[in-house]
Structure 1
Amino acid sequence: MDSLDSITRFLGWCSVINIGILGLAALAVATMRGMMTRIHGKLSGLGEGDLERAYFQYLAQYKIALFVFNLVPYFALRISEGL
């Protein structure tokens, strides 16, 4: 049973770290959008609208991955510990 407890704690810390990364990325996109679009526009040749769509898609996909690979397994293990 110790291994399930270790996995649960590991997934919990992974979730905390990934939520922090997602929050920082969202904050960066919200506060530094102009600078980011200039830099990424020069690097990739994409327009401002395309880059904003790419930023939103990145944040959405990161959030989905966070739910699927960290939060859902964490809560499933927490629920199964109580049974």
Structure 2
Amino acid sequence: MTQEFLTTVFGWMTVPNIAVLLFSTLMIVTMQDWIVGMHGRMFHMERAEVQRAHFQYLANYKILTLTFCLMPWLALKLAS
């Protein structure tokens, strides 16, 4: 595999991951009451627990996307 190929792969891998992150964030922010109510009933959790779980999900997804998609792409771009 060439450096150019890897740069392209990591670049395109970053795009859908950031799109999922943005979509999830927008849905949780705009439809918070409905989503919290639905997840609270599904998993028998209190409102505060569901909100904490959503925040943890978004934080973990962001860290993983930055670490395994964006940073390798950026490193490869800087190296070329």
Normalising TM by the smaller chain, what interval? Answer: over 0.9
Identity of matched residues, %: 34
- Normalised by the length of structure 1, the TM-score is 0.91
1:58 is matched with which residue? 57
d(CA) in 1 for partners of 2:23, 2:7:
24
Say which one has the larger Rg: 1
1:32 alignment partner in structure 2? 31
Output the aligned Cα RMSD. 1.0
Q: Which residue of 1 aligns with 2:75?
A: 76
TM-score by length of 2: 0.95
Q: Which runs of 4+ in 1 moved over 4 A?
A: none
Give the paired residue count: 80
Matched with 2:47 is: 48
Which consecutive residues of structure 1, in runs of 5 or more, have no partner in the other structure?
A: none
Residue segments in structure 2 that go unaligned for 5+ positions in a row:
none
